[in-house]
Amino acid sequence: MKKVIEEALLNLEKSKGISKNILISAINEAMASVYRKKFGIRNIRVEFDLFSKETKIFIPKNVVEYVKDSQKEISVSDAKILKADIKIGDVIETELQDKEKSFSRIFAQIAKQVITQKIREAERNVLFHEFKEKQGDVVTGTVRKISESAIFVEISKAEAILPSREQIKKEKYRIGDRIKVYVLTVDQDLKHSQIVLSRTHPGLIKRLFETEVPELVDGSAKIEKIVREPGVRSKIVISTTNKRLDPIGTLVGVKGGRIQGIIKELRGEKIDIIPYSEDIKEFITLTILPAKAKELIIDEDNKEATIIVDKDQLSLAIGRGGQNIRLAARLCGYKLDVRTKKQYWEQRQISDIPGVSEKIEAILKKKNILRFSDVADLSTDELANIEGIGKTSALKIIEYVKSMEPKEE
Q: Which long-range contacts (CB under 8 A, 24 or more apart) does 17-23 make?
A: 17/123, 17/126, 17/127, 17/130, 18/119, 18/122, 18/123, 18/126, 19/122, 20/50, 22/118, 22/119, 22/122, 23/50, 23/119, 23/122
Return the domain boundaries, the chain. 2-129, 135-200, 203-276, 348-404
Distance in angstroms (rounded) separating the CA atoms of residues 218 and 213? 9
Question: Measuring CA to CA, which residue among 329, 225, 333, 336 is closest to residue 274?
Answer: 225
pLDDT in tens, 14-67: 555 566 777 777 777 777 877 777 777 778 888 877 677 677 888 888 999 999
* Cα–Cα dist 334/300, whole Å: 9
Task: Report, in angstroms and rounded to the nearest whole number, the Rg of the chain calculated over CA atoms.
Answer: 38
Confidence of residue 409 (pLDDT cuts 50, 70, 90): low
207: pLDDT strictly greater than 90:
yes
Mean pLDDT of all residues in 313-318: 94
For residue 68, report the phi and psi dihedrals to the nearest 5 degrees: -110, -35
The answer to whether residue 80 scores a pLDDT higher than 80 is: yes
The architecture in CATH of the region 2-129 reads 2-Layer Sandwich (3.30)
pTM summary value: 0.70
Residues 6+ positions from 228 with CB-CB distance below 8 Å: 200, 202, 205, 234, 235, 269, 327
| Other residues' Cβ atoms within 10 Å of the Cβ of residue 269 | 20
Q: Identify the burial level of 364 via C-beta atoms within 10 angstroms of its C-beta, where 0-12 means exposed, 13-18 middle and 19 or more buried.
A: buried
Residue range 242-268, pLDDT digits in tens: 888 999 999 999 999 999 999 999 999
135-200: CATH topology = OB fold (Dihydrolipoamide Acetyltransferase, E2P) (2.40.50)
The predicted-structure confidence for 346-393, as pLDDT tens digits, reads as follows 888 888 888 788 888 888 888 888 888 888 888 888 888 888 888 888
Q: Comparing 2-129 with 203-276, is the CATH topology the same?
A: no
Check whether 190 has a pLDDT greater than 60. Answer: no
Question: Is 3.40.50.10470 the CATH number for 203-276?
Answer: no
Asked if the model's pLDDT at residue 139 lies above 60, the reply is yes
* Residues 6 or more apart whose Cβ sits within 8 Å of residue 113: none
Strand partners, 195: 186
Segment 280-308, tens digit of pLDDT: 999 999 999 999 999 999 999 999 999 99
Residue pair 60/91 in contact (Cβ under 8 Å)? The answer is: yes
pLDDT at 15: 56
348-404 topology per CATH: DNA polymerase; domain 1 (1.10.150)
Residue 170 reports pLDDT greater than 80 = yes
pLDDT tens per residue across span 90-130 = 999 888 776 665 665 666 677 777 777 777 777 777 777 77
Residue type, 351: S
